[in-house]
Amino acid sequence: MESPFRLVDLDRSAPPPPSTDQVLVGVATRPTTVPAGFDVVLTADPGAPRPWVTCAEPLVAAERVGDVVGRRPAASLTLVQVLRMGAGLSPGEKLLVESLAYSALQGGAEFRSWRDAIPPRRPRPAATPVRLRRVGDRLTVVLNRPWVRNAFDAATRDALCEALEVAVADPTILRVDLCGAGAAFCSGGDLGEFGTSRDPAEAHRVRVARSPAALLLRCASKVTARLHGACVGAGIELAAFAGRVTAAPDTFVRLPEIEMGLIPGAGGTASLPVRIGRHRTAYLALSGIRLTAPEALRWGLVDEITGNGPHGGH
């Protein structure tokens, strides 16, 4: 069986034919047209355009990706396959494919080994996981579990769906601000209940039926996501659907799911490629790097860096 990872020096080697069972990473001194089939392309050129990722040491960055792929081959290959397919799918179809792939990985050995290795955590629910405030034609939606940095649990998902259903259904709401209370916008999936579902097929059904991502697609032009602090996993996947995304200077972005044996499951394989392309999305997920607010701005993941701190706590 071939290695799931392949590194190609594009300065020296001709690109290989595309492969469905390898993560293909290219490095080059100067960015050129990206050959078909590559999932990540790295360069040291500071002016490299999308889809290239600029790194101080491209070979070192590529080796880090290779290490992750070697430890999590099923999740890594599933990620790049889903991202490749996305180019030919509608936004709704992308969400379906992502959910099916995510559910398949939930039943896999990589996710089980990660789950078994983390200590159990006690759920810390909120009486009101999402707060709403309306003034005139403006609706403010605030993720409201600051004691866990607004970690995304099932109750938060359901409450956010209810809030977004209001925004979709009410034509008098012209602006929606999506914020997070406390020190962070959203730290990702709540580890207190993460992976507790024993039925991946049922989890897929629920994920499709109760999808904040699908609702955000329907009202995106109204929505401004106002990021600060941690924007991890679902925290950036959902925010990226917004028509406008602003970030406080302390904002950072990360996709941690591959190390868990999963892929982004809150819509990230549909939302992020629209903003930054599939190659940079793949790199963000496969490397697990922390993207700062200025880096996110350069990539186009956010539209503006604001001088303000947390928005949702006021």
Give the mean model confidence (pLDDT) for residues 224-243.
98
Which has the closest alpha carbon to 65: 143, 146, 3, 141?
3
Q: Residues 5-61: pLDDT tens digits?
A: 999 999 998 888 888 899 999 999 999 899 899 999 999 999 999 999 999 999 999
pLDDT at 158: 97
Tokens representing residue 95 in the block: 């969400």
pLDDT at 1: 67
Instruction: Read off the pLDDT of residues 133-158 as tens digits, 9 standing for 90 and up.
Output: 999 999 999 999 999 999 999 999 99
pLDDT (tens digit per residue) in 254-298: 999 999 999 999 999 999 999 999 999 999 999 999 999 999 999
The predicted pLDDT at position 196 comes to 65
The per-residue pLDDT for range 190-232, each reduced to its tens digit, is 987 776 677 889 999 999 999 999 999 999 999 999 999 999 9
The reply to whether the predicted model has a pTM over 0.85 is: yes
